[in-house]
């Protein structure tokens, strides 16, 4: 296994600085051997050294969960620490060592973001080392008198958080990758919790520049609880279904409701996207997608992440809708 120690070091330092009440973080391989680690000065080095022993106790169950198609997770409490294990793919496990009184609900949003980034580094995929501060955690640096600290963009440019919802394997990650990188990612990897990517685009017909911070949310049921945290502070969203799988179309309304509820904004700007129109075995017609979008009062676009058809248009439509809303509210 090739190890990019420089990227791991930067990532682990961000995690330690951002995640609440974390004393150390360790990445171990399947044999429990340490790949990379970072800790504060207070934690006993013996605790980090003993991780491999604990891994032996939970590795079998985690491995079985991974083989069954789920991402294995587990936790182990000691007198002084709380240990959280998350599968980062077939090669390694992320172990977070936190204060014994740390809240699982506060930690998991950070841990899943970290696990996704570790998996990307191990696979040689592009990834930023930045771990964002998340509204609603106990991290004091993310809050100022109970409000999220927001950096205002320069005049003439706008920054928005956009969430992507939809069932697993509908092509959300491929859509984002095609939009951001301009190419189709053939080696599909399921998202662990969430993946965050950014792109700036110029709005045609205006001088405005929009920066989209795109949170690609894992669609599996096991991530439903942690997704509620990721929705916070979102200003727009895209709900994706696979036109070749009717079951993913039948849950669109549920995803719309979850996004509205999670963001706390019933009027959040949303776009419905029917993806994979390049495939022949279509089960959902364009007319059906359009009818559902009209029922929900939303716009509808069909895309192909593989060919790039209408991918940029979908994100530009959403960005334009956000700009128009801003214009109306600031007159």
Instruction: Please tell me the predicted confidence (pLDDT) of residue 12.
Output: 95
**Cα 92 to the center of its chain, rounded Å:** 19
Most confident of 108-117, 142-151, 154-163, 235-244: 235-244
Q: 126 exposed, middle or buried (CB, 10 Å; 0-12, 13-18, 19+)?
A: exposed
**Predicted confidence band of residue 331 (pLDDT cuts 50, 70, 90):** very low
In this predicted model, what pLDDT tens digit does every residue of 164-189 receive, in sequence order? 999 999 999 999 999 998 888 766 67
CATH superfamily, domain at 5-132: Dynein light chain 2a, cytoplasmic (3.30.450.30)
pTM: 0.78
Domain ranges across the chain: 5-132, 149-330
Residue 272 in this model has a pLDDT that exceeds 50: yes
Residue 223 in this model has a pLDDT that exceeds 60: yes
Residue 296 in this model has a pLDDT that exceeds 80: yes
From CA 81, how far away is CA 252, in angstroms rounded?
41
Instruction: Please tell me the predicted confidence (pLDDT) of residue 324.
Output: 75
Instruction: Please tell me the predicted confidence (pLDDT) of residue 183.
Output: 85
- The better pLDDT of the pair 296, 56 is held by 296
Q: What is the mean pLDDT of residues 262-288?
A: 96
Instruction: Please tell me the predicted confidence (pLDDT) of residue 71.
Output: 54
Q: What is the mean pLDDT of residues 32-60?
A: 67
For the chain, state the CA radius of gyration: 20
| Topology of domain 149-330, CATH | Rossmann fold (3.40.50)
Same CATH topology for 5-132 and 149-330: the answer is no
Residue 13 in this model has a pLDDT that exceeds 60: yes
From CA 187, how far away is CA 123, in angstroms rounded?
10
- Mean pLDDT, the chain, as a whole number? 83
In this predicted model, what pLDDT tens digit does every residue of 108-139 receive, in sequence order? 999 999 999 999 899 888 888 999 887 554 43
Instruction: Please tell me the predicted confidence (pLDDT) of residue 245.
Output: 97
Instruction: Please tell me the predicted confidence (pLDDT) of residue 11.
Output: 95
From CA 282, how far away is CA 289, in angstroms rounded?
12
């Amino acid at each position: 296994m090739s190890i990019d120690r420089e990227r791991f070091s930067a990532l682990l330092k961000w995690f330690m600085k951002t995640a609440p009440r974390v004393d150390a973080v360790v990445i171990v391989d399947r044999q429990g051997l340490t790949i990379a680690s970072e800790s504060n000065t207070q934690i006993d080095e013996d605790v980090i050294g003993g991780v491999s022993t604990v891994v032996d106790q939970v590795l079998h169950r985690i491995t079985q969960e991974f083989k069954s198609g789920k991402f294995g997770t587990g936790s182990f409490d000691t007198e002084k620490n709380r240990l959280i294990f998350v599968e980062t793919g077939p090669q390694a496990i992320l172990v977070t060592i936190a204060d014994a009184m740390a809240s699982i609900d506060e930690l998991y949003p950070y841990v899943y973001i970290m696990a996704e980034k570790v998996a990307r580094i191990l696979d040689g995929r592009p990834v930023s080392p930045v771990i964002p501060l998340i509204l609603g955690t106990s991290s004091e640096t993310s809050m100022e008198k109970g409000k999220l600290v927001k950096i205002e963009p320069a005049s003439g440019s706008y920054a928005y958080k956009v969430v992507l919802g939809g069932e697993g394997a509908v092509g959300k990650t491929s859509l984002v990758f095609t939009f951001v990188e301009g190419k189709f990612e053939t080696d599909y990897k399921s998202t662990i919790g969430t993946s965050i990517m950014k792109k700036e685009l110029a709005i045609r017909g205006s001088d405005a520049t929009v920066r989209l911070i795109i949170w690609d949310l894992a669609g599996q049921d096991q991530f439903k609880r942690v997704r509620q945290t990721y929705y916070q502070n979102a200003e727009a969203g895209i709900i994706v279904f696979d036109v070749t799988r009717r079951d993913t179309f039948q849950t669109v309304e549920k995803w719309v409701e979850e996004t509205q509820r999670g963001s706390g904004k019933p009027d959040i700007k949303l776009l419905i996207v029917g993806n994979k129109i390049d495939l022949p075995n279509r089960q959902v017609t364009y007319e059906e997608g359009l009818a559902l979008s009209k029922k929900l009062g939303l716009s509808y676009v069909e895309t192909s992440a593989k060919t790039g058809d209408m991918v940029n248009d979908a994100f530009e439509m959403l960005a334009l809708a956000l700009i128009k809303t801003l214009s109306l509210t600031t007159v």
